[in-house]
């Protein structure tokens, strides 16, 4: 007897269709970046909006993540007389996982929602149709500046998040938990390598692509007026956040082959 799965195929088809739309948008965007003319004034405006505007959120996230993670690691390691290992464990975890993932999630919530809401509002008010009537490609005018600005800003935000997290970690460990500052710094510098930071920047770049293309795609397909804008904005944040968490696993497994933990680089 043949079993039927009435819901699997529609879900698979919808998921494949959505991935195809994202891939088509990405392909058209990169084609415009490499073959077209980039509007650098719009790119600089988006860098200010995305990068500079997200600094407060990223800094606060980094500070308190580094502080609480240091405290938890110390409480566990101190019971095993391994308090000197707090520095390298926190540093490697922040560089390889926590820094890029938390930055990606914060930017997805702030910037991804803003991108979708702005483009979605233009879509439902027919401003995008007006751009086409004026012979202006919406991809060149709306998506490319945001994509370029996001690819520039996100790795810098990841590095900033890690820096402030490690600063907070050092302060909590040495001033509050009485970890020897010399041991903390020596072990952290000895076990943390350039490849750990490179891995963080690569993840930040990939997460930037996820946030910007999901946000733009949701905005460009918005319908049903103000209700549709709100729905698309919510979906953009949820989809991009889940995509970051899922793709992070595959990035970790793949990049660990290229940049294995330990060793020198």
Which among 249, 241, 26, 60 has a CA at the least distance from the CA of 144? Answer: 26
In a domain, 34, yes or no: no
Cβ-defined contacts of 185-190 (< 8 Å, 24+): 185/87, 187/84, 187/85, 187/87, 187/88, 188/87, 188/88, 188/90, 188/91, 190/88
Q: What crossing angle do the helices spanning 113-124 and 194-220 adopt, rounded to 10°? A: 20
In a domain, 144, yes or no: yes
pTM over the 0.85 mark: yes
Give me the domain span that covers residue 147: 54-258
In a domain, 110, yes or no: yes
Number of domains in the chain: 1
- Cβ(39)–Cβ(140) under 8 Å? yes
Low-confidence residues of the chain: pLDDT under 70:
1-11, 262-265
In a domain, 16, yes or no: no
- Cβ(153)–Cβ(212) under 8 Å? no
In a domain, 5, yes or no: no
In a domain, 43, yes or no: no
- C-alpha 107/C-alpha 105 separation (Å) is 6
User: Structure tokens of 137?
Assistant: 């490609």
In a domain, 25, yes or no: no
Over residues 23-78, the pLDDT tens digits come to 999 999 999 998 878 889 999 999 999 989 899 999 999 999 999 999 999 998 88
In a domain, 8, yes or no: no
């Amino acid at each position: 007897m043949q079993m039927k799965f009435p819901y699997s195929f529609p879900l698979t088809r919808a998921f494949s269709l959505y991935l195809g739309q994202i891939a088509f948008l990405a392909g058209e965007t990169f084609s415009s970046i490499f073959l077209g003319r980039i509007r650098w004034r719009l790119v600089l405006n988006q860098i200010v909006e995305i990068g500079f505007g997200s600094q407060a959120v990223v800094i606060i996230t980094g500070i308190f993540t580094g502080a609480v993670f240091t405290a938890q690691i110390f409480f566990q390691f101190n019971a095993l007389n391994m308090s000197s290992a707090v520095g390298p464990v926190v540093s490697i975890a922040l560089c390889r996982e926590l820094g890029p993932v938390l930055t990606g999630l914060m930017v997805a919530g702030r910037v991804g929602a803003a991108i979708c809401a702005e483009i979605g509002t233009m879509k439902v008010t027919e401003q995008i149709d007006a751009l086409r009537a004026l012979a202006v490609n919406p991809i060149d005018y709306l998506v490319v500046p945001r994509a370029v600005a996001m690819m520039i800003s996100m790795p810098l935000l990841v590095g900033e998040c890690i820096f402030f997290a490690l600063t907070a970690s050092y302060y909590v460990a040495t001033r509050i938990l009485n970890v020897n500052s010399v041991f903390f710094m020596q072990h952290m510098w000895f076990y943390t390598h350039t490849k750990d930071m490179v891995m963080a920047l690569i993840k930040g770049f990939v997460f930037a692509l996820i946030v910007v293309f999901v946000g733009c795609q949701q905005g460009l397909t918005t319908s049903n007026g103000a209700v549709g804008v709100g729905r698309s904005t919510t979906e953009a944040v949820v989809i991009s956040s889940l995509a970051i968490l899922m793709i992070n696993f595959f990035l970790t497994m793949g990049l660990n082959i290229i940049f294995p933990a330990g060793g020198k680089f």
